[in-house]
């Protein structure tokens, strides 16, 4: 199988490529990533010598560049490439629309032109908006995105649906809850709190800290996508989540306790505009239809993740200092 994975230099994409190379040693994986601030090829150092792995620095909005890549022959597309950070989307929505909507449409067009056995759109529970105290997101929950990020992801999802309904493109959409684990960019809550706490810096908590997210270890997201590629019913949406709802303040206190750092670092700051109160996924469909079950319990997963960040301080300090840009220059010279 020849797999085209977009956004493979990011957090989930790089974990997915490493997972798939190990799980399916005969598959060929082409990683297509434009290397924005969030893309880091260092995540894939262990894959770089694998003859089944290749990389192309291409923007998914570049229709000509994408067309050339499809000429190599692609069986399956998994689209992770996106602008992914809600706070950035509030400051600069345009790039979110460009990458998350237009980029998706460019990929769909190429998939339609050359033919694929499956196109998987990696989406998010945020397209459903915010939950009250009760209930969970199912695949039937109406789309009600509240941030420019989630609106752009919903726009991408609707393009995917349209290519299925109009052109019969064999698609699936996955909508996962918040991921955590190795290689997550330190602008997101968990790595941000770990890295700032280790530096004894104030920890910004938005609003009252009681917003709830449903956390899933990244490897469990990867195993779900693997199942969807192989067994997902064409045209279906699959929600992915591990029933791990936690308030933000609980997450932060857990990290502080694990690191032996004082709660006095916690600093309540102005709330995120349009801040969704609660996310919670009902994973019944993927569990019953595809037999998916998460392997990692949150209590052990969060400890392992904290240990990973402790052991890979060089990885995140390089990112924070911007030094990884010069790492690219040294490692790849003129090519990137």
Distance CA 3, CA 119 (A): 10
Give the phi and the psi of residue 33 in degrees, each rounded to 5: -150, 140
Which of ligand NAD, ligand DAU, none has residue 160 at its interface (CB below 5 to 8 Å by kind)? none
255 sits near ligand DAU (criterion: CB under 6 A): no
Tokens (6 digits) for 260: 């032996």
- Closest alpha carbon to 221 in 180, 192, 275, 184: 180
Binding mask 69-108 for ligand DAU (x = CB under 6 A): ---------------xxx----------------------
Token pair 């769909």 is found at 108
Which one, 118 or 188, has the nearer CB to ligand DAU?
188
Residues 217-236 that bind ligand DAU (CB under 6 A): none
Q: Going by C-beta distance under 8 Å and a sequence separation of 6 or more, which residues neighbour residue 218?
A: 11, 12, 15, 179, 180, 181, 182, 184
- Active-site position among 119, 149, 180, 279: 149
Q: Which stretch binds ligand DAU (CB under 6 A): 71-79, 96-104, 122-130, 306-314?
A: 122-130
Active site residue 276: no
- Active-site position among 33, 42, 109, 125: 125
248 sits near ligand DAU (criterion: CB under 6 A): yes
Active site residue 126: yes
Pairing of the two strands 203-206 and 76-79: unpaired
H/E run at residue 178: strand 178-180
Residues 142-161 that bind ligand NAD (CB under 6 A): 153
Token pair 């989540």 is found at 241
- Closest CB 205 distance from ligand DAU, rounded Å: 5
Q: Which stretch binds ligand DAU (CB under 6 A): 108-116, 128-136, 187-195, 290-298?
A: 187-195
Which one, 109 or 211, has the nearer CB to ligand DAU?
211
CB 60 within 8 A of CB 99: yes
Which of ligand DAU, ligand NAD, none has residue 57 at its interface (CB below 5 to 8 Å by kind)? none
Report the chain's terminal Cα–Cα distance, integer Å.
Answer: 27
Which one, 185 or 327, has the nearer CB to ligand DAU?
185
State the number of binding residues for ligand DAU (CB under 6 A). 19
9 sits near ligand NAD (criterion: CB under 6 A): yes
Cβ-proximal residue to ligand DAU, closest one = 124
Give the phi and the psi of residue 165 in degrees, each rounded to 5: -70, -40
Beta bridge partners of 214: 245
By three-state DSSP, how is residue 163 classified? helix
The single residue among 104, 152, 178, 239 that binds ligand NAD, judged by CB under 6 A, is: 178
What is the DSSP track for 240-261? Answer: E--S-EEEHHHHHHHHHHHHT-
Q: How many CB atoms are located within 10 Å of the residue 59 CB?
A: 19
99 sits near ligand NAD (criterion: CB under 6 A): yes
CB 76 within 8 A of CB 4: yes
180 sits near ligand DAU (criterion: CB under 6 A): no
Task: Point out the residues that are catalytic.
Answer: 125-126, 149
- Contacting positions for ligand DAU (CB under 6 A): 84-86, 124-126, 177-178, 188-189, 192, 204-206, 211, 213, 248, 272, 279
- Contacting positions for ligand NAD (CB under 6 A): 6-7, 9-13, 33-36, 38-39, 59-61, 80-84, 99, 103, 122, 124, 153, 176, 178-179, 185
């Amino acid at each position: 199988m020849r797999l085209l994975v977009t956004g493979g230099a990011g957090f989930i994409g790089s974990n997915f490529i490493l997972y798939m190379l190990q799980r399916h040693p005969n598959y060929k994986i082409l990683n297509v990533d434009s290397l924005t601030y969030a893309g880091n090829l260092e995540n894939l150092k262990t894959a770089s010598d694998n003859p089944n792995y290749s990389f192309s620095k291409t923007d998914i909005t570049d229709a000509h560049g994408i067309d050339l890549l499809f000429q190599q022959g692609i069986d399956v597309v998994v689209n992770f490439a996106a602008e992914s950070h809600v706070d950035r989307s509030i400051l600069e929505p345009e790039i979110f629309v460009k990458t998350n909507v237009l980029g998706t449409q460019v990929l769909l067009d190429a998939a339609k032109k050359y033919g694929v056995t499956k196109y998987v759109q990696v989406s998010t529970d945020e397209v459903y908006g915010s939950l009250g105290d009760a209930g969970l997101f199912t695949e039937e929950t109406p789309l009600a995105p509240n941030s420019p990020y989630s609106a752009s992801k919903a726009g991408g999802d609707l393009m995917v649906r349209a290519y299925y309904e109009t052109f019969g493109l064999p698609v699936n959409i996955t909508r996962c809850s918040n991921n955590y684990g190795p290689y997550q960019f330190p602008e997101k809550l968990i790595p941000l709190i770990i890295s700032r706490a280790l530096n004894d810096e104030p920890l910004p908590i938005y609003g009252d800290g009681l917003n709830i997210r449903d956390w899933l270890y990244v490897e469990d997201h990867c195993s779900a996508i693997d199942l969807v590629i192989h067994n997902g019913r064409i045209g279906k949406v699959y929600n992915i989540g591990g029933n791990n709802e936690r308030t933000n303040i609980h997450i932060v206190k857990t990290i502080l306790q694990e690191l032996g750092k004082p709660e006095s670092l916690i600093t309540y700051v102005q709330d995120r505009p349009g801040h969704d109160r609660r996310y919670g996924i009902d994973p019944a469909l993927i569990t019953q239809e595809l037999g998916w079950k998460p392997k990692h319990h949150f209590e052990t997963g969060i400890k392992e993740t904290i240990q990973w960040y402790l052991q890979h301080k060089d990885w995140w300090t390089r990112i924070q200092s911007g030094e990884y840009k010069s790492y690219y220059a040294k490692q790849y010279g003129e090519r990137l």
